[in-house]
Each structure stands twice: as C-alpha cells, then as structure tokens.
Structure 1
Amino acid sequence: MSDSQASNPASPNDKADLTEWLDYMQQIHVSAIDMGLSRVLPVAEALGVVQSAKDDAYVFTVAGTNGKGSTTAVIAQMCQAAGYKTALYQSPHLSAFNERVRINGEMVSDQTLIEAFSKVEAARLQCDLTLSFFEMTTLAALLIFAEADCDVWVLEVGLGGRLDVVNIIDPDMAVITNIGIDHVDWLGDNVEDIGREKAGILRNGIPLIYGATDMPTSVQQAIDKNQATCYQVGQDFHYREIDAITWQYSNAAVTLQLPRPALSLTNTANALSAVLASSLAVDIAAIEQALRTVKLAGRFDYRELENRHWLFDVAHNEQGVEFLLAQLSPLWQYVAKQNSDEQTNSAPATIKMLFSMLADKDIDKVVQRLTESGLPISDWFIAEIDYPRAASTQQLQGILSNYVDSAQIHEFKRLSEATQAVINGSQPQDLIVVCGSFHTIGEALAALEK
C-alpha cells in the first residue's frame, strides 16, 4: 500500500450518506487549498470528464474577484430558457452542498453526488494520489455533468484560474468579471499577479468577456498570447439603468431594452455579453424570460422574514462591498419610504448589521467602507462563524471599535444567537443587513429556518 493510501482514513462504505462522504473528503488531503493541476489531471482523465466536455458540451468558464456567482447564474438561466440542458457549478454553498451542482436549475440529489464521489474515489486510488476536498467535489460535479450529457456547462472558478481544478476543462468562452485584491496568500498581493492567474482560463482563439473598465497589463498580455477576441465593458458593450424595472444593454450589433433582474446589472451585462458572443442560439424571448426569473441566494438577496426587512449579501472584500453599497442605497430609500408612509408615529428607521468574516480577509477595509458609506447604521451584531478560518469575536470587535462607538457593538458567542438578538433589537421599520462571508449568510439563514 502506498504512503498516500496508508495515511488516509478508509473510504466510506456503500451505505454512507452525503455527510459522511463530505466529512471523509475533508480529511484525506494535507491542506484544504492546494493549487495546481498535476495531481487532479490524471484522475480527471481516468474518469473521462476532460474528453467528454471537449466533445459534447459548450463550456463557459467564469473567473474574477467578485460577481462570479451572479454571472454564472444568469448565463445558465439564459441557456436553460433557450432550451439547452444546462449544467451549473458554483461554490461555495450557503445551506446545502447540493447547491453547488445543478442541472437545469435543480440541485442534484444526495444519491447522485454519492455515486459520483464513489467513482472519483476509485479513480483517485487507482492513480495513487491524494486530492483536496475542492478537487474531489469539483471532479464529481464534472462527472455528473458528463454522465447527464448536458449541452452547456457553466463553471465558476473557485480560486484564481490558472491552477484551479475547473481549469482542467477547456472553455469555449471565458469570462473575467473583475480583478481586485483577494486571496493574497495564493494569488499575489497586486492586480498584475492576480490578473495573470485569472487569465489562465484563456485558450487559443476563444472569446473573453472582461467585465471591468481597467485591465491589468498581465491580462492584455494573455489576450495577445492566446490571440483571443476580447469584449470589454465600456468599450465593446455598455449598459445603463433606465428605471426601477428596466435597463438597456448595447454592443456594436444590438441595443436591447430589458427587464431588470434581481441581480447586479454589472454581472448581468457580463453574462449577456458572454451568451451573445457564444455560438449558442439564444433569442430575445429566452433572455427576457431568464432575466425575470433568475435569482441567487445571498447575492443582494432581499427578504421579509420574522416581520423584519432583511438583506443578505456575501460581500467579503472591499470591491464586493462597493457592489453592495451601490445597490443598497436605493433599497434603503425604498424601505425607509415604505415605512414612513405606513408608520408615521414610529421611531426613525435604521440599519442593523449582522456581521462576521473570515480572519484572512481584509476586515478593516470592509468595515471602513461600510461605516463611511453615510448609511444610518445604528448597531452591529457580531459573532464568530463556525468555520476553521473564522475571525474571532474579539478580532471583529477590535476592528469595529476603531470606527464606531462601543455601545453600538453587540457581541455573541454564536451567529445563531446574534441572529435572534438582531430581531429582538430591531423594529419592523428597520433594515437588517447580513454580510461578510458566505458562511455568515448560511448560518444566519439556518438560524432563521429554525
């Protein structure tokens, strides 16, 4: 028996459930994040997923610092509305792991995942290699898509691009939503290094949608090297808000007036550009249908629960907060006006923050941007996320105290306790904003469901 097998726990048996498989896959590799394709490629080839995607599917691969989830959701919804059997892979999830793997908008079943995990595990052992949790689960998703004979694969890059496991699949269309400073331990601490990593999803001659007006030199160099056709926002396509329910998109070939989706217009415009530049037949009716129906939990996700107004957003870096604030201001005006019309004698409405982050993120920048936004944030409810890389409550409190009065900070041991406290400490006219991490949103939603 090899060292890699000897050091690993035994594979789950035939009766193992999804939780047991997920727990097992988190234990079999030395680190949660291990960049590189040398270990995963032999397993992927043994499974046949690389060849299947190349022969049978049109593949969109989406990289970027922020907006990947919204962009992939819109692309998938448009392709599905046009009649294509559409696979969507995203990460991480909020509540259930199955959220990561969808076919025609539906999460795949536990049993489908378990069968795929079993096949990936057999191939891994055959190749005598260890794989990280993300590598194992991504391979399983790709295998499911191949076996389901999906027409279109929409793949969200987990981290970076060049060395991410998603990059074993050659895309027909590449999208880079934007480039900001994030994941500095793996991608670098400047936009040139980060851009080089994200541009690693390019292939010779394929189109690239670039969703930001500023482009690092490293990305342009990758475009030139691959002889790619680049469509960049502000140059090759444009969009603008018309009113609360309508927006306009234009490129050199078309000008469209479209229904406004429940997601960011920036990400929607990038997604639409990718679909229009593809070889797929997607007509205006499918586009309009998709925009009316697309939604994504945790991305500017407004809900009314427990007689309170809630906004859930996974913003976890400075650029993500900028996206959030750009949309939050008009929503706040709507909520405040609605309540002023209904409750003339009540106290003025305020914003309550339910907040937590991972320790390796730039918490100070996020807090600074939120506190300097000019929005009436009256209280912060904080707790430590139940996750290994979580920032401690003390760390969160220490940073917050540099920007707000200590009386505005309410500390709790668990996020579920903070969730109940923000309900008790708010009024029906207030807006509760939950942000800072996917895990923050997931735990808050789980607490509300209970």
Structure 2
Amino acid sequence: MSFDALGLPPELLKTMTGLGVTKPFPIQAAALPDALAGRDVLGRARTGSGKTLAFGLALLVRTAGLRAVPKRPLALVLVSTRELAQQVSDALAPHAQALNVRLATVVGGLSINRQTALLRNGVDVVIATPGRLADLVSRRECHLDRVRITVLDEADQMCDLGFLPQVSDILDQVPSDGQRLLFSATLDRDVDQLVRSHLREPVLASVDPVAGSVTTMEHHVLTIHPADKYATATEIAARDGRVLMFLDTKAGVDQFTRHLRASGLRAAALHSGKSQPQRTHTLGRFVDGEITVLVATNVAARGIHVDALDLVVNVDPPADAKDYLHRGGRTARAGRSGSVVTLVTPGQRSDVNRMMSEAGIRPTVTPVRSGEEKLTAITGAKRPPAGARDSGGNAPFRGLGTRPGRASKESRKTAEARRTAEARAAARVRKGR
C-alpha cells in the first residue's frame, strides 16, 4: 500500500514527500484505512513502529476544515509522559501546518498559564498527559464536550503509571459517539478494561507479536562480577557513538553521571528530579550528539525517539518485562537494527531469566570482565580517556574505571588491592542511591 492510495489530501502528501515519508510502515497500513473511515481502532504495536502517524494522520485529516472554539478542542491525544507528548507534537506539527490544524501540548512541569492561554485562543488538537489535562478540566479551562476523536497512545504504560482512573474519567467526559483510537504494546488487564468500557466494535490492527520482540534487535546478557560492574559500564560508555544507559534510581544516575564526566566522557543525567526544561534540553543535546552518553531512570523509557541509536545498556536490570521492552524500544526503531545489553551479577541471574522469559526474549549470555576483547566485540567498549578532567576541572574517579589485573606485569597483591578499592567504590555508588 502507498499513502497515495489512502486518498490523503494533496497538500498533506506534498509535505510527507518532502519529509521522506513515502511508504507506510505496517502499523500505518493496517490502521489508517479504518481510522480514516471513522471507525474505532485497537492497535497493537510496539514503541518505535510508526504508530504516531498511524493515528496522527487520520486525526489531522478528519479534523482539517473544522475550527475549535476557545477552551473546546476537537481532538485529543492522551500520552503517558511529557517526553512522549513532545515527540507526538513534533511528529505531527508539519502535517498539522499543511492542513491548517492548530496543535497544543498540555503537560505537567511547564507553565500552566501559557497552556491556559493557548486553550483560550482556541486549539483544534490537544496532546496531553492525563494529570495536567485533568487539572485544566477541573479549573474549567478546558471542556471536552466537543471532542470528536480521542487517541490513547501507549495505553499500557498509562495504566502501569497509575493513570487509569484519570483516563477513564476523561473518556467519560468525551462524547460517547466520538471516534476512539487506542494503541498499546500489550492488550491485557487494565487496557482490556479500557477497551471494553470505551471502544465500540473496534477494528484490531496488530502487526507485532504480543511480547513486542523485534527481529532487528539483539539481546545480550553480560554476566559480571559485582566489583567489576561499574568499570565494565564505564568502558561501554566510552565507546564510539551514542549510548543510553539505565539505572534504577535518581541518586544512582547522578552519581554514575558524575563519574563518567570525571572520566572525560560527555555524559548527562535524565530523571524525574530534573525540571521539564532541563529534561528537554538534555535530550536535545543527546539527539544532536553534543553528549554521547545519556544516563537515565525509567523516565527515559517512555516517549524518547533518537534516530540511529544502536545501543541501550541496562546497568541495573529492569524490574519487569514491560520495563525491559520499553527501555529496549529506544533502539531498533522504524526497522533499524540495535542491541540491548543487560549487566547481570550472579545474584540477579534468576530474576533476569524470569523477566526475559516473560518478555519473550532469548538473549545471548556471555561472561565478561572489563578490558576484555569480547566486551568490545559486543558493545564497542573501550578505555575512557586517561587522566581526563571534566568541564568543571574535576579529576576522574578512578575507583570505578579500573579493571583488576589489567597490566600484565602487575603483581597479584596489587591486583587484589585494586579489586578491594573497586568494590568499595561500587559500594559508595550503591549507597548513594
């Protein structure tokens, strides 16, 4: 199928061609015909599969030519995070401009007064996180009684993050005869409840397996000694090219980022403790290549799109299969290839094996130590710049970056001393959590 065959407006096709969007991805080909026809659509598609245009083009075409009155939008896109809201907005903006459709992004962490002003001026499509939209509705700054099309993007993540009551309340305020488009990587439990309660005879558009595995993505489990964990992670971070690294906690992210910067690497931290402008700026620097290592908590697993990102590293293994799939979904997007590497200590093996099984993943398992050729072969790892200082003049934190027994002439006693120092350094990082 081509976009031409869908009967899209000429001005939209011209804009899409200019952006290199000429052939639909599978989820777009599966969902767009029914969505354009006004039917409810239940889409099962992993993150990075092209689903934004699968619902976005239909939403814009069906809204074009209409004009919203102040405070009463005509279409609504609900998303799980601020980053995803911005990603959706950026993806739809040129197409909306071509059709003269007005967009507004409504999320927490940014000025509510500015968002209120946009709504008062009149916007046709609102892209929102549930919490901020509920706040604006309660203030009577936004009314949902004229919404004709409602999209739930990454519905499973909204439910996992505790937004189900707010989402249900919002859907109850939207006219019941409007169109509903729901997209999710999984269609179980709370998502099934949303479907049963708020969609009318939806057409199923499913192009991915239930587990959401991706054929262009490689999965590696690297088994490591606990004392060598951060030395291994540091060498991976020093690779050529960008890398996204996940840790469990904000304190852990900040501590490891400081260590990487002290080791001479261009690293930055991303987590919920940062303001939204800080998060947007940091992500922009990573996308532009100004920084090469983004160290993050799970906040970065929701709604971040970076072209040609080929490696994601779980320094701390994720808690469950959904978190693993969403973390990994930052690479191997839109048909490209990529790898997900998870560092696992002996005490974590059973939990990680269980999680991988639930995710439908069969990873390649390799025991490694920092400085080994097989670590480099899998991840591109290399030694960080020796004796480097970060922009603040701080000397590198050598305790996390050295491998025991690296020098061939090093004595056994010296190697043991290094292992002890490294274990203490790793303990300090864990204590900082």
TM-score (norm 2): 0.33
User: Higher relative contact order by CA 8 Å / sep ≥ 6: 1 or 2?
Assistant: 2
The alignment's TM-score, normalised by the length of structure 1, stands at 0.32
For the pair shown, the structure with the greater C-alpha radius of gyration is 2
